[in-house]
Structure 1
Amino acid sequence: MKAPTVNWKLFPPKAHYMLYFGGVAAFWPYITVYGKQLGFSELNVGYIFTVAPIAGIISMPLFGMIADRFKIKKKLFLVFNILNLLALLCFPLLSLTESRTSRPVHIECGEGASHIKHCHASNTSHILEWSSDSAKERILQEYSSKSCLTSCQIECQASVDELVNFCDALLTHTITGDYDLPSFCTKNDSTTAATIPLSFMAQLDFATTMPLEDCIFFQLDSIAERKQDEGFAYRPLSCLPMQKITNCQINCPHFYSANQAMEITDNNMSPAFWLYALFTLLAWIAMAVVTSVADALCFQTLGSRPDLYGAQRKWGSIGWGLFTLISAFLVDVISGDSIIKNYAPSFWIATILLTLNFVVCWRWEVEEEERPKALGRRMAALIAEPKIAAFVIACVVVGMCTGLLWNFLFWYIEDLANDRMCITTGTKNWIKLLQGLISIVQCFLGELPFFYFAGKFINKFGHVNSMAIVLGTFGVRFLLYSILENPWWVLPIELFQGLTYGIFYTNMATYAYVVSPEGTAATVQGIVGSAFEGVGVSFGSLIGGFMYQYMSGRTTFRAFGVFALLMGFLFKVVMMGIDRKFEPISQNPDKEFDIGTEMKPMSKRPK
């Protein structure tokens, strides 16, 4: 039997897609929950991911046009690959900035109940206020019906007398059992330091939160220290008589409402927020340019066989799914029981893969197309086509759904996991593993097979029906999210990723290439990419972030699901009204290839 031959000409696009998307996937899927860990709200994250795609609106067609006009696709491609790597490697610097998640508090340990007390700093040199007057109301309204305990990290600097009095009053015999004294009560007997550092975990019961004048009280249910090979062992906190430790900081990275209610600020965003926004913006611009130019280079490499695009692009899904899982697993292992996730493995993986990707791109040989004539006029005429304009608008709607999915699915999963902690702690301890498995299902069971058969799928159903199916599938997918109780049940829902991304992206990219005049492939890819990511993802992030913060994740996904179903139906009706035969007309008569038959999504209506 004849051994299969390897087409080495197609090796560079395959290797690029796998290495590039694998490197990006090591960290980018967690970009929003990374911001959540830093203490940023849903709305603030939504603002960032509204501005970033708008920058993509400008950068994709702008740099695509520059690449086409000056015939520098590959040079531009290499430059933005480097920028992408550097932008991602800037995120670890945020850990060196002042954290917004630490808040000054007092610990009040009593016999019947203990509390964390946080008060307005009235003695500061300038006017400071609660970050939001409604913060206390929101935390009471949102969590008064919950019995779930929330884990927070507490760091204190106690005076010697303060610590001695606290430890002497700490009860070791309670109605729930007998407990040893914490290690900070036993290992500092001979210290001569003025203050003694204390560090422990605390479980707070937010259902009993009480505001009083300029202070807010959170019930402290129990505390814990890490025990070797046993993780954290919690014990109740009771003192007789009541004792206080007044110099403490609390960190609740997975509970933004608590952070917001305890935050004292002068309404200026912290340096960490602005750096996070800047790095996100740079990374987004780089990714937007790299992906759009890479698709143009891939189609040029394929020549007369653009029907093979899905077979190349599927390697991006393989890289994304594989390295998302590897990264998630390593982050969980290194982080252990800590509520602060250590993303160092993500950055190492990104560095290695994106460096290898640069080498592959450097060796990728692509001949530049002829410089186009009257580029602006030809682009304007192209966009003026009613069918093409409607298709671009549909890309915007899909982008809105994708913006919500990209930026808030993992956030929603973590919220479900926090609620689930009332029943079991297993889900929360392995949340990154679950998120990695989500990406595995999305990529290997969803995108991969659909990328492979995308050409046949589009040939059978056509571009109009394919786009309507994508929108309808988004609707069903989001409605299923809205009824989730156990976050692990999200895994089977992620099979829909094959339709909502695999089919959609191939549908969008091949259609853009078919209608592009000679020498304008990067420009047209930039236009449809801008509609999808720049406009769609931007609006989806803004609206989704606003709804998520002021309503809930469940309500947000339900509303977007209904919207997607309605838009899918409306798109089909409008396209039928424009032309029952949706047949894109190639602007370049020399483009003859098999996928031309796949550009005929609907047969002519009966005479």
Structure 2
Amino acid sequence: MARLNRRLLPIKAHFFFFMAAMGPILPQLSVIGKQIGVPPDVMGYITAVLPILYVLAKPLVGFLADYFTSLRKFIFMSLIVIMTLAYGGFYFLPSNSHAIELNENNPQWNVTLETPPKLCSQHIYFSDDFCGAAYQATCNQKDGNNSQVLIVASLNLSQNLQHNNASYHICLTKNVTNDWSNDSATCQLEHISSCVYGNSKFWLFVCLLFIGTIGFNVTNSISDACCFDLLGDDEQGKYGAQRVWGTIGFGTTALLAGIVVNLWTTDAVKSFTPALLIMCVFSILDLFSVSKLKLPKLGGSESIWTDVWQLVRQPPIIVFLVFACIAGIIDSFIIYFMFWHVEDVAAETGYMDQIKLIEGLVVAAECLAGEVPFFFYSGKIIKKLGYVHCMSMCFFFYAVRLSLIAWIPNPWYLVGVELFFQGITYALCYTCIVAYASAVAPPGTSATVQGLMAGMDDGLGFSIGSLIGGVMFKRLGGRESFKYFAIAAICTCVAHIVIRPTSRKRQYLPKSGYQVPIEQGEIKCPPPQELKEMGQVKS
């Protein structure tokens, strides 16, 4: 019978409560933006800027945690409080309602004109309901002429345009000499920029999203560093057995929130109030668990930045950071745009009344059935295969996963896809990155190195992925975007197989002298010449 290690109970509890608090919120961030009227390309810009701040914040807060070792617990708990208050602020975001229903994936309308459009009146622009009733559009006529117009619903205007048995008002944004004798045209609708960027609701959402998400990511990085510090050098392989409790918590509350939100509101636009309440309850429990953590007293580094700089100058570390960044690019696209894509599929196939339940089941499948076994056995898998082969395998299955997400004929298929592929992609890849960071970190720099590695993965990588993903999603739609990301993932797999082994020529990294990370499940001693060099450095 396995003995319960009471020393590790608080860190298990922290992972469970911390991720349980995030389960109802994190998968829905882009959906919350969508519900208040943020278009996909703008959401991509937001989530592209956001991770750049991770790159700065994670190593900086990690440095503070390493430097002020006596304040580590206070820093830890402060971050949790800030994160919870920021995400809780979503409650105060006013809901978005627009008189025109626009499919973001297919904003092109084939319209019929009853009368030629005239110049828009000032009454339209100064109306209080302007942003909730109008879209700008570029309309192309059969003779090749195109014009910039506004398409407006209601506002007591004459209806001179027909689309899908509905009537709207169309007017020109500037005088043109085009002949509108044709009674049909094709119009490409877009959000009005001033209505997006000039809206206080939009900037409140951006500020809350920035503060909350930075708080979450920095706390996550500090959590990993504290976990490895508690385990010590002899029990590093048990990290996954601790982190798996976070997955259980995340999946449980994501499913619970999906069911409750679905029951709470029967409209197509769902209220996230129950999800926010669940987050607050588990954040309070997390603060209690962190207060019980007994963090070990660590020997500090006399020159943290110098030690870390000596580490990242090593070619193998540079190569590893590049591929960690690519993993972040792929993850960010899935995290930020998978639910956007599945909601579009639901709208096309008539499943919008079940979408929150489906999304809850997707997250539960990802966490409880997908991530749990891989987090639990990740230490053994990495020990057996080594870091290189594990990363290559992850990229291959990312390609398969992305291809299947692009293919799904209706939202329910996504549950099965995520059930089988979340663990072998995200869970194993994430563990591989943080375990490698712990293996190479010089003494007294664990939080800083974890922050650096995570900054490249879900910092710079997330930034690039969000920016590219947002633009692709707007121009190509969800299905095509996921197909192109699948192609990129398989190319990365091949490149990783070819490049990473060649980076093992100098794997002797400073941690109590030089330590060799287990790249292929084997340990090699440094050559005599290098041992001699190390002796000269120490002296």
Aligned with 1:327 (options 237, 257, 274): 257
In structure 1, what is the Cα distance between the partners aligned to 2:164 and 2:155?
Answer: 28
Superposed displacement of residue 124, structure 1: 5.2
The equivalent residue for 2:42 is 44
In structure 2, what is the Cα distance between the partners aligned to 1:602 and 1:132?
Answer: 61
The equivalent residue for 2:104 is none
Distance 1:121 1:306, change over 3 A: farther
Q: Tell me the amino acid that sits aligned with residue 277 of structure 1.
A: V
Superposed displacement of residue 73, structure 1: 2.0
Would you say 1:540 and 2:465 are equivalent positions?
yes
Superposed displacement of residue 368, structure 1: 3.4
Aligned with 1:560 (options 470, 482, 485): 485
The equivalent residue for 2:56 is 58
Aligned residues: 474
The equivalent residue for 1:189 is none
Q: Secondary structure of the residue that 2:327 maps to in structure 1?
A: helix
Distance 1:65 1:318, change over 3 A: same
In structure 1, what is the Cα distance between the partners aligned to 2:270 and 2:40?
Answer: 19
The equivalent residue for 2:406 is 482
Q: Tell me the amino acid that sits aligned with residue 575 of structure 1.
A: R
Q: Tell me the amino acid that sits aligned with residue 473 of structure 2.
A: Y
Q: Tell me if the contact between 2:11 and 2:227 (Cα under 8 Å) persists in the aligned partners.
A: yes
Q: Tell me if the contact between 2:38 and 2:196 (Cα under 8 Å) persists in the aligned partners.
A: no
The equivalent residue for 2:246 is 316
Superposed displacement of residue 264, structure 1: 8.8
The equivalent residue for 1:305 is 235
Pairing of 1:379-398 with structure 2 (within 5 A): 379-398=308-327
Distance 1:410 1:289, change over 3 A: same
Q: Tell me the amino acid that sits aligned with residue 550 of structure 1.
A: R
Q: Tell me if the contact between 1:584 and 1:600 (Cα under 8 Å) persists in the aligned partners.
A: no
In structure 2, what is the Cα distance between the partners aligned to 1:484 and 1:131?
Answer: 33
Distance 1:582 1:399, change over 3 A: farther
The equivalent residue for 1:77 is 76
Aligned with 1:101 (options 83, 97, 102): 97
Aligned with 2:299 (options 336, 350, 370): 370
Aligned with 2:27 (options 26, 29, 37): 29
Q: Tell me the amino acid that sits aligned with residue 341 of structure 2.
A: Y
Q: Tell me if the contact between 2:19 and 2:246 (Cα under 8 Å) persists in the aligned partners.
A: yes
Distance 1:265 1:384, change over 3 A: closer
In structure 1, what is the Cα distance between the partners aligned to 2:361 and 2:506?
Answer: 38
Q: Tell me if the contact between 1:516 and 1:588 (Cα under 8 Å) persists in the aligned partners.
A: no
Choose between structure 1 and 2: higher strand proportion.
Answer: 1
Q: Tell me the amino acid that sits aligned with residue 520 of structure 1.
A: T
In structure 2, what is the Cα distance between the partners aligned to 1:340 and 1:360?
Answer: 35
Q: Tell me the amino acid that sits aligned with residue 222 of structure 2.
A: V
The equivalent residue for 1:428 is 352
Structure 1 or 2, whichever has the larger Rg, is: 1
Distance 1:378 1:590, change over 3 A: closer
Would you say 1:214 and 2:171 are equivalent positions?
yes
The equivalent residue for 1:92 is 91
Choose between structure 1 and 2: higher helix proportion.
Answer: 2
The equivalent residue for 1:571 is 496
The equivalent residue for 1:443 is 367
The equivalent residue for 1:458 is 382
The equivalent residue for 2:123 is 123
Superposed displacement of residue 125, structure 1: 7.1
Q: Tell me if the contact between 1:19 and 1:319 (Cα under 8 Å) persists in the aligned partners.
A: yes
Distance 1:385 1:366, change over 3 A: same
In structure 1, what is the Cα distance between the partners aligned to 2:163 and 2:264?
Answer: 29
In structure 1, what is the Cα distance between the partners aligned to 2:76 and 2:193?
Answer: 45
Structure 2: gaps spanning 5 or more residues? 102-111, 142-152, 157-161, 174-187, 525-539
Q: Tell me the amino acid that sits aligned with residue 30 of structure 1.
A: Q
Superposed displacement of residue 88, structure 1: 1.0
Q: Tell me if the contact between 1:582 and 1:601 (Cα under 8 Å) persists in the aligned partners.
A: no
TM-score normalised according to structure 2 size? 0.81
Would you say 1:467 and 2:391 are equivalent positions?
yes
Q: Tell me if the contact between 1:464 and 1:602 (Cα under 8 Å) persists in the aligned partners.
A: no
TM-score normalised according to structure 1 size? 0.72
Distance 1:264 1:471, change over 3 A: closer
Deviations 1:456-486 (A, max 9, x none): 1111211011111111111111111222222
Q: Tell me if the contact between 2:389 and 2:520 (Cα under 8 Å) persists in the aligned partners.
A: no
Q: Secondary structure of the residue that 1:372 maps to in structure 2?
A: coil
Q: Tell me the amino acid that sits aligned with residue 300 of structure 2.
A: R
Would you say 1:355 and 2:280 are equivalent positions?
no
State the superposition RMSD in angstroms: 3.1
Q: Tell me the amino acid that sits aligned with residue 123 of structure 1.
A: H
Superposed displacement of residue 75, structure 1: 1.6
Superposed displacement of residue 131, structure 1: 7.6
Distance 1:514 1:309, change over 3 A: same
